[in-house]
Structure formats: structure tokens, C-alpha cells
Structure 1
Amino acid sequence: MLVRKLILFLCLFVVSFAEAVAQSAFAPFPKASDAYWRNQVPKAMRQDYIRLGKKYQLATWESIPDSAFAEFRKNGNRTNYEASCFLRRRQFACLVMAEIMEYRGRFMPEICKGLHYFLDKEPWWGVPAHYPKAHPDSSKQVVDLFNAETSSMLAWSLYMLGEEIDNVEKGLTERTYSEIRRRFLRPTVTEKQSWMRKVNNWNSWITSNFLATSLICEPSGSNELHRALDVSEACLRLFLKGYPDDGGCEEGAGYWDRASASFFESLWMLRAAASTMLPTDHRYVLTPAEEEKVAAMGRFISTMHIGNLSFVNFSDAKVHNVPNINIMFPYGAWLNSSHSTQPALQKVGLQLMQFAAYVANQYDYYRKPSTLFLKTGCWPTLGRELMLLSMLPQLRKSKALQPQTKEAYLQNLQIMVAGNRNWLVAAKGGTNGESHNHNDVGSFVVYRKAKPVIIDLGRDIYTAQTFSSRRYELINNRSMYHNVPLINGVEQHSGLQYHATDVQHTVSDSASIFTLDIANAYPKEAGVSKWQRTVMLNKKRNRVEVSEHYQAHDVIITLMCYGCPAMQKNGQLLLADGVKLVYDADKTTVAWQKVVMPEGMMKKQWDDNVYRIELKPKTEVSDIEYRFECTP
């Protein structure tokens, strides 16, 4: 009996050792034991990561009440559970990063407690909005964004500190590997996944986490790894094929980080693994045309930048956003260094590198990296942060420069962006069937010196209603709270059939002009047969001009503005930052009222200071013109 137990132990030891050796073949950057992290990361940065880890040394690892999970099905609230869920991941990621930077074992007991929490106290690693029942069941594993993110976070912690974890508690590493496979890797390859067929952030976001987790957790050369690579490549090819050639993210600039950037993240990992563990049929080589598309996808975030980290926020995006430099810089560096024969791609890469360096300077990254680290997602993203730190010398040498768009047109999304030293104007056509749609065909925004004048409300806190049949009862998703007309008391409707027509964009030395017909964005009961809108940045006269030519009755043109307007004189309304709205008072009346916003993200980002202007023709006319101007 004793001999049999000894043989069994030896067999298990050999299998475990063989898997550990195989897993170590994926080596995108040094492990925690390597002196790189203590020698190449400056002392001030290391101390800041360690300080953050110390904050969570006495962290709570209590179970989240089941009632918090059930709350989403009960009343639509997803925030309460997510706050507790994300906190536990935040503290775990911070503890791991602190141990990597100090490497004295001080944080290892808490890291092991954290692993036990995830293995024993959460039956599922996702969030209630993505689970089919009110209560999670450990035997029913569903692949969602946060199940994927959690698996990836745990996998990176094992990659960096696996040996050290086993030194504290033998077998904990392998048990964690096993749970990652059961909860995430196996369901991804064995069950039908709807997100694999969709070209939105779910595809690229989950795929990047699935690929990283597979490369770390699956033994090199195993059937499981080959299957994971097949699945990943199929998802990536579907995503890239379906993505618009102009590189635009229809979900909004806020999703760039998890759409285009996550796609790049997968490319980066495949290239990191290529030399050591990938067969030639899994190298995923891009064609020249695909490389150009990937560059356009990277450029999108720079194109939408207004200034001072404000962004054109069509769709579900916040106006104030901090790009994640731990993926932006690697994206730029890859474009800049891998395309020596393609200057246009190199230029995009350089711009992203300089943008990342600008953000780093703005947030004092080289002394207090924890500020940006904490902003890199719903909780800090370990893999991306390690990726950036492995390139730290290159980042520190990069010139810091924020992008300023002068002329851009995204032909597929039908978005125009034009700017000069005083103005930035952006306008959109497109459809009302876009992912994260807001019923806003023809809407536009105006900024003066990167300060808001005419705005888009953007996104608010997500609830069950946000992605339900009642989505368009929320004010930030309704056309009457965008800069488009209300026609015969009727708003725009949702669906691909509601879209812009006759879209044109022209550029000259004196003007950038965007023209479209938005009549088709309205249902028949609006009674509109034509509505041609022209939005122009008049460079010669240094103003923004809008003209409306239409065949419709009972018209109100809505303008959402930041700050309370004031009547300066007849035909001139004073807006924020000294901008004047000039209109024909003989033809048009003007009125305004404060917008009552629900408590939450949207109200906070606009300082509860948004007003809705209504321009209304006095008689039955077929055209209205107005402009925005200011003293230079």
C-alpha cells in the first residue's frame, strides 16, 4: 500500500513538473524573481506600487452576500455587486504588483488568501448582468467579460509568482490552474459563445484574455493549447474582417481600449509566443491591407481627442477619459518599430507613443504609477501593466505630445472631426442600429479651446434598463437630448433602417464641410421628406456654421449646451467660454431650460450644468441658419 502511494505521488509530481516546464515556455517578460523589476523600474515607482499594496494588506476577503448578486434581477441595479466584486480584484492585483516590486515575501500570505477567496467564495467570476439566473451556480459556468478578466488576472499572478505561491502553500498554484480551466478555458472551447460571432468589444476583450490565459495555463504542444489557438485565431479574424476599414469604433471612444486595443493585445501575445512555443500555422501573419486597418484602429483614439484628455463622446463614451497607456504605448511601439517600410504606419505608431508619454507626464507616472494603474480598467490590469513596465526605458525616452486633430473623416462611421487653434467640431451620420446606439444621426459637438460648448451627454451608469427594450427612455439615448431636430413632436427611432443618406465631406484651405440628409432617421409619422444639415468649420471667418434645409412641419432644433445661456441681445445667445450662438431673430425664437439628470456618472461629469436650447421657426420656413463665433 505504501509503495502504491509513493508511486502515485511520484507520478503526480512528474506530471505537475512537466506541465510547469511546458507552461514556462511562454515568457513575454521576466518573472518576479528576475532582477529586472528591481533594477529597471526606478525606486520611486517601486515604492509607489508597494505603498498601494500595503494599503490592501489587511484587505477583506469576505464573501459577497448572495443578495447583492440577486439585486440585478430584482431591481436592475448592477452597481452594488460590481463595486464589491471589483474591489476584491483591485486589492489582489495591487498585492501582486507590490510583491513583484519588493520581492521579499511580505505580501505573499495575503495573495494566497486572495486566491482562496476566488477559488472558494465566488462560485462564478462574472457579474450578475451577464448571468442567466438570479443566483450563481458553480456547476454552471458562463463566459463573460469579467469571468475572462478575472481568469487572466489570476493567470498572470501565477506566471509571475507561481513558485513563490507554492512555497507558501503547496498545491495552490495547480489548484488555481485547474479552476481557471474549468471556469473559463474549457467552456470557451466546448460551448457555443454568442460573442464569438459579434464584432464588438466582447469579441476582442474576451479573446485577448482567453489567449493570455491559455498561453500561461495550457502546456506547450498540448491539444488544449492548439484548440485554444484555433479558437483565438478564428475570433480575431472575424473581428478584423468585420471591423470598418476606417478603424472607427462605433461603440464610442471609451471602448477603444477594449475593442481595437484588445485586438492588438492578442497580436502582441501571439508574437511574444511565436519564437518559443507556437507552430508556424498559429503565427497569424497580417496582410499589408490588414496592417493598414490595424493602424487605422489605433489612430481612432487620437482622432477623437479634443484636448486635455477630453474626447468626442458619441455613443457610450465619457467626455473625460484617461487612455490606458499600458496598452496605448505598446500598440504605438509595435506600429512604429515593425513597419520600417511603411512611413504612414510608423507615423501612427509614433503619435500613440507620444500620446502615451503625454498621459504619463500628466499623471506623474514616473513617480506615482499607481494613479494610472488604478485607472486601467474596472480593476488594475496586471498583464498590460507588466507589458508597459517591460518597455519602460523606451517610454521614458519618448517625447510627450497630445494629438490635435485638424482634419479627419471616418468614411464607414461617417464621422467628421475638424479643428484649429480655437475650435473643434465633430459631427456624425451613420445609423441608429450601431452598437451602443444613441439615436443621434446628424448630431454634432462644438468645443472652443478644448472646452465644451455644444455637447453630447455621453454614457451614464449601466443598469438593467440600459440594454433592454426601455433603453430609449433614458435621456442620454434619446434624440431629443442630442443636437438634432424634433419633427412634428417625433424623435428619431432605433434600427439599421434609420440612417443618414447623401453624406458628403469636403475639405479646403478655407473650410471643412460635412453635409448629410437625416430625414431617413425618423419614422413616417414625423412627416419629413428631406432634412439636409450642413456643419462647417469656417477657417477663414474662424467660426462654426450650421445650416438646415428641410421639408417638414412643426420643427424644433435642439442644442445641448454646457452652462446656462444668457441672452446678449436679440439674435445672440451667450454660451460657455465666451461663445455666441448667432441666429436670425426675425425667423427664429429661442428658449432654454436646465436638463434634469439622474444621479450618477453623467450628472457628475457635466457638473449638473447642462441646458437644452430650442430653436424654433416663427413661420413655416424651409431653412434655418445659425453659427457659433467668439472673439479670438
Structure 2
Amino acid sequence: MLSALEREIREVAASDEPLPALPYTALREFGRTGERLGYERRYFGRRARLAALGLLDAPGDALDDVVWATCDEYTWVLPAHQSMPVDLFACETAHTLAELAGRVDPVVGERARAEVGKRVLDRFLDPRPMEWEGFGNNWEAVCGGAAGMAALAVLDDPEPVLARCRAAMRRFLDGYGDDGGCVEGVAYWVYGFGYFVYFAEALRERTGEDLLDHPKVAAMAAFPHRVRFADGGHVPFSDTTDDPFLPAGLLTRLAERFGTPGPDGVPSFHADHCYRWGHLSRTLAWSRPVRSRPVETTSYLPDLAWVVDRGEHGHGFAAKGGHNDEPHNHDDLGHFVLRAGGRNVLDDLGAGEYTRDYFGDRRHAFLHPSAEGHSLPVVGGVPQRGGRAEVLEYAETPGGLTFALDLSSAYPSRVVRRFRWHRDGRLDLRDEFTGDVPVEEVFISRIRPEARGGRVSWDGLVTLDHPGFAATVETLATRDHHGRPDTVHRLRLRVPPGHRAVDLRFTCH
């Protein structure tokens, strides 16, 4: 089960390439241009070598050198977070070095412990609030969990640090609803909940205290499986992807504790481009075959207002309500995904490339988080912005489900969207409007649609029947989360004024 991962670890550890440099010119690039990837690729290249060497049974002098070099770094904080003395990545680095300090030359280990204390743990002993305390999202769990595990590894008396970490974990849990859903998407569930679990298990091993024995945690453990389609793709709502990195060790431990599905396999060493020690070390330590119970065909998460149906014959459907002021928010109330032929045909673009502006006031000028990067109506020339969806109806039917949302708070006039999903691959979509405003129905895909008369086809996988509205197709060049070129196709159906309702039928083939 682990052989391919172990081979990749040995290959990376055996590299004779020098560690990537972290020059000042790379560090300052974010401040000058807002670009992150240049520095971060160098930084994570160093973390890859550190993790690979640390995972070997007998790392030798090479691990001494890379730990020493990590201690030499000007900062462990990424440039995008330089306003913070301690960020996610500083805490992750502290965790890594703390758990490796006993495996290196004593002089190197002593220096590593000192740097972990000076750069991270001392800040947890300072009563002044840290910037991320109160976020209630993945930051709380990652920073608190990584620092807590570092404290357990290197401090004679970790309790003062652990007290602050427990408080972070309480805020993290408070950020979830009882349905266990992560508003930030599956990738951030892995990040935040993963570090929550790693810390909880380290704490349980040391003290017997069990943070997983919390009423929300079982539902949280089930989240990625409830938003997964039958053929393996995940719903990519928010800043995530339809093929997220799912650490095998994490899924194994959750299956053992809660009966959730175990991993399909062990991801590549390179599947997490940040090369996080928490994920990698626990995958090696915890992965094993496990038994688990099946997941229901239809999942409804009322706190998120997400519905996912795994369908039949490779068809799948998901739609969301929620609100447009969520962490990693997209303007996407009423947006939906249709899956056919092993692909999300009517798609969600997931996370775009992270830059300074992507997390600033111009966020919704970027395609991925904007309303016009989602399958939503434009009403009176105004795309969706702001607001909260009100769930009017959710019901399972013998052959599928119905789901209705009032989206009016996100538009200049009343808008209601109704879905009727038939598990054999049919989706009836009805949008209701008030007034005589012009409306455009917009649909997003990475497959170019062909529009002829009253029918649109996405490569024969999905067809749309409509009343003969004027159709245009736009092809948009953008970049994905990793800065790679990405092509997106946007279908616009122009609805003449006076239509108080639009009825459309999608069919998966």
C-alpha cells in the first residue's frame, strides 16, 4: 500500500541538487507585484527535501544539513503573511523540526529546538492575541495543532502552550455547523480538520484527553465522503478542486474511529505541493486496510445548504445555497454541478491562483470566485453579489430530489431557483423572476458547448433544451490555483424581458 510513496521519498531524499535558495529578491516579490508562486515554489521545494529526509529510517548527515539550513532561513512565514509574526507555515515548520530534533546530531537538534521556541512557541506564551485567533477556520486548527504538537515534542512542560491550542481548537469546532460541512471546501477540510485530528491524537497519546470525542467530530469526519460522487470526483465548491489531496493516514484513522470510508490508495509524495510533515508522517504511520460503512446516495448538509446526489450510471448532481460572506468565499448562491462520463460537465472552477488581490477588495474581479465564474443568472445586467440563500424546499423523491432557493437578497429583484433532479440523469431547472428586467442565464464548463437552435450540447455528455433563447459562447483564458493555463467556456442564454419564469432541462448521457 505504501511502496510507491516510500520509493518517491527515497528518490527525493537522494537528490544531489542544492536546496532552492530563498533570496531577498524572491521574498520581496509579493510586496512589489502581489505574486506568490515564485517564492513559494522555492520554499516548498526546501520543505520537500526536509520531509523526505526526515521520513527515512536512517537519514544521516543530509538531514542534519537540511534542518540546519531551515534554522538559517530568515523567516518561516510566507511573504503573503509577513504582517503576522506566526502563520500557518511557520507553525508547520516548527512541528516538523520539533519532531525531527531527536533524530539529528545533538548540536543540530538543540538549535532546532531553540528556533522552534523563539519563532513559534514563545509567541504562544505571549498573552497578546495573534492575528488568526478568532478566524474560526482552518487557521485555528493548523496553527494551534502544529504548535501544539511541537510543544508536545520539545517542551518539558507543554501545558501553557497546549491551553492556548485547545482554545484555538474550540474556535475551530465552533466554525463548523452540526452537519459537519466545511464552507471552505474539501481541500480546506483536509488542511484544517487534518491538523485538528493529528493534534488530537498526539494529545490523546500523551494525556488520554480525547478531542475527537466531541459531538460535531463524527459528522466532520464524514464530510469529504458525503460530497464525493460515485465515480470518485468531489464537489469543488469554494477554493478547492474536484480531485483534492486526501491523506491516506488521516482517512485510515478516521475510518478506525468513526467507520467512515478509508482511502482508495496512498497519494503520491508530490500530491501535497506544500509537502506538509503532518500529512506525510501520519500517512506512513497510520495507513492500513480498513473496513468502513457505505455512504448514503443523497447527502443534504442543512447548515451549508449543500445537496449532493451520487446518481446512477456515473451521473451526479450537486447544488448549494449558503451565503456570500464565507471564508474563501465565492459568489455562488444557487450554483450547481452536473457530472457525466466521469467529468464535472457543468462545473465549478474551484480555487484560482492566489495573489494579493485574490484576497483583497478586488477578489470578485477574478473569474474563479466571481458570480460570472458560476452557473447563475445575471438579472438586469447585474451579476449576483452579496446576500444569503434561503432554503425554500428540500425533499428526497423516489427517483431523486427537489431543492429550491430564494436568492433575492443577492439580486436587485426577486429570484427563486428550483431544481428537480432525476437520478437517471435529468435535471429540470426553473428560475423565477419579478419585473420586466432582461435576464441572462449563464452556465460554466471546461468543455466547449455547441449551441444549435433550442439545444446545447457539451461534447454529447450533457445536453440542454431551452425555448430558443439567443445563445452565445465565450472562451476565457485564465490560470488555475497553481498558475497553470486554464480554459473556461461560458454559455449565455439571453432571456427576453417579460419572462417571469425560465424552464430548462439538462440531460446527462
Do both proteins adopt the same fold according to a TM-score greater than 0.5, normalized to the shorter chain? Answer: yes
Q: Does residue 129 of structure 2 align to residue 192 of structure 1?
A: yes
TM (norm. structure 1) is 0.76
Summarize deviations over 1:268-295 as a string: whole Å, max 9, x none.
Answer: 11111125xxxxxxx25666xx33x111
Q: In structure 1, what residue type is equivalent to 2:252?
A: F
Q: In structure 2, what residue type is equivalent to 1:332?
A: A
Could you tell me how far 1:499 is from its partner in structure 2?
0.8
Q: Does residue 345 of structure 2 align to residue 467 of structure 1?
A: no
Give the 3 Å change call, closer, same or farther, for CA 620–308 of structure 1 in structure 2.
same
Q: Does residue 267 of structure 2 align to residue 376 of structure 1?
A: no
> Could you say which structure has the higher helix fraction?
1
Q: In structure 2, what residue type is equivalent to 1:147?
A: A
Aligned to 2:464, the other structure's residue is in SS state: strand
Count, aligned residues: 506
Q: Within 2, Cα distance between the matches of 1:299 and 1:500?
A: 24
| Cross-structure match for 1:521 | 410
| Cross-structure match for 1:457 | 349
Q: Within 2, Cα distance between the matches of 1:48 and 1:576?
A: 37
| Cross-structure match for 2:440 | 556
Q: Within 2, Cα distance between the matches of 1:123 and 1:602?
A: 26
Q: In structure 2, what residue type is equivalent to 1:437?
A: N
Summarize deviations over 1:184-226 as a string: whole Å, max 9, x none.
Answer: 101123131132212111001111101110000101xx2xx11
Q: Within 2, Cα distance between the matches of 1:414 and 1:237?
A: 23
Summarize deviations over 1:556-610 as a string: whole Å, max 9, x none.
Answer: 1101123222235x3211113432111122xx33222212324764764x5x2x2
Describe how 1:83-232 pairs up with structure 2 within 5 A: 83-98=41-56, 100=57, 103=58, 107-120=59-72, 122-132=73-83, 142-159=85-102, 161-162=103-104, 165-166=105-106, 171-190=107-126, 191-219=128-156, 222=157, 225-232=158-165
Q: Within 2, Cα distance between the matches of 1:173 and 1:60?
A: 22
Q: In structure 2, what residue type is equivalent to 1:375?
A: A
Query: Which sections of structure 1, spanning at least 5 residues, go unmatched?
Result: 1-40, 133-140, 276-282, 336-345, 364-371
Q: Is the 8 A contact 2:9 2:52 kept in 1?
A: yes
| Cross-structure match for 1:240 | 173
Give the 3 Å change call, closer, same or farther, for CA 46–260 of structure 1 in structure 2.
closer
Q: Within 2, Cα distance between the matches of 1:312 and 1:328?
A: 18
Out of 276, 285, 289, the residue aligned to residue 390 of structure 1 is 285
Aligned to 2:123, the other structure's residue is in SS state: helix
Higher-Rg member (1/2) = 1
Q: In structure 2, what residue type is equivalent to 1:387?
A: R
| Cross-structure match for 1:30 | none
Describe how 1:400-479 pairs up with structure 2 within 5 A: 406-422=297-313, 423-479=315-371
RMSD, aligned CA: 2.3
Could you tell me how far 1:254 is from its partner in structure 2?
1.4
Aligned to 2:456, the other structure's residue is in SS state: strand
| Cross-structure match for 1:589 | 470
Aligned to 1:433, the other structure's residue is in SS state: coil
Q: Is the 8 A contact 1:414 1:429 kept in 2?
A: yes
Q: Within 1, Cα distance between the matches of 2:167 and 2:508?
A: 52
Q: In structure 1, what residue type is equivalent to 2:399?
A: S
Q: Within 2, Cα distance between the matches of 1:534 and 1:128?
A: 44
| Cross-structure match for 2:429 | 546
Q: Within 2, Cα distance between the matches of 1:251 and 1:511?
A: 26
Could you tell me how far 1:468 is from its partner in structure 2?
0.7
Give the 3 Å change call, closer, same or farther, for CA 62–301 of structure 1 in structure 2.
closer
Q: Is the 8 A contact 2:331 2:370 kept in 1?
A: yes
Out of 401, 404, 417, the residue aligned to residue 533 of structure 1 is 417
Aligned to 1:74, the other structure's residue is in SS state: helix
Summarize deviations over 1:241-281 as a string: whole Å, max 9, x none.
Answer: 33211111111111111122222222111111125xxxxxx
Aligned to 1:442, the other structure's residue is in SS state: coil
| Cross-structure match for 1:310 | 233
Q: Within 2, Cα distance between the matches of 1:477 and 1:426?
A: 18
Q: In structure 2, what residue type is equivalent to 1:188?
A: F
Aligned to 2:147, the other structure's residue is in SS state: helix
Could you tell me how far 1:399 is from its partner in structure 2?
5.9
Aligned to 1:596, the other structure's residue is in SS state: strand
Q: In structure 1, what residue type is equivalent to 2:68?
A: H
Q: In structure 2, what residue type is equivalent to 1:506?
A: A
Give the 3 Å change call, closer, same or farther, for CA 46–258 of structure 1 in structure 2.
closer
Give the 3 Å change call, closer, same or farther, for CA 179–76 of structure 1 in structure 2.
same
| Cross-structure match for 1:297 | 220
Query: Which sections of structure 2, spanning at least 5 residues, go unmatched?
Result: none
Q: Is the 8 A contact 2:451 2:471 kept in 1?
A: no
Q: Is the 8 A contact 1:452 1:576 kept in 2?
A: no
Could you tell me how far 1:46 is from its partner in structure 2?
5.0
Q: Within 1, Cα distance between the matches of 2:225 and 2:134?
A: 28
| Cross-structure match for 1:12 | none
Aligned to 2:368, the other structure's residue is in SS state: helix
Q: Within 2, Cα distance between the matches of 1:439 and 1:564?
A: 23
Q: Within 1, Cα distance between the matches of 2:347 and 2:211?
A: 42
Q: Is the 8 A contact 2:427 2:506 kept in 1?
A: yes
Aligned to 2:159, the other structure's residue is in SS state: helix
Q: Is the 8 A contact 1:438 1:478 kept in 2?
A: yes
Aligned to 1:499, the other structure's residue is in SS state: coil
Q: Within 2, Cα distance between the matches of 1:319 and 1:47?
A: 27
Aligned to 1:359, the other structure's residue is in SS state: coil
Q: Does residue 8 of structure 2 align to residue 75 of structure 1?
A: no
Aligned to 1:142, the other structure's residue is in SS state: coil
Q: Within 1, Cα distance between the matches of 2:211 and 2:368?
A: 41
Q: Within 2, Cα distance between the matches of 1:571 and 1:409?
A: 33
Q: In structure 2, what residue type is equivalent to 1:618?
A: P
Give the 3 Å change call, closer, same or farther, for CA 116–262 of structure 1 in structure 2.
closer
Q: Within 2, Cα distance between the matches of 1:619 and 1:241?
A: 45
Q: Within 2, Cα distance between the matches of 1:574 and 1:42?
A: 42
Aligned to 2:351, the other structure's residue is in SS state: coil
Q: Is the 8 A contact 2:228 2:234 kept in 1?
A: yes
Q: Does residue 242 of structure 2 align to residue 359 of structure 1?
A: no
Q: Within 2, Cα distance between the matches of 1:79 and 1:157?
A: 27
Q: Within 2, Cα distance between the matches of 1:76 and 1:113?
A: 32
Give the 3 Å change call, closer, same or farther, for CA 145–418 of structure 1 in structure 2.
same
| Cross-structure match for 1:33 | none
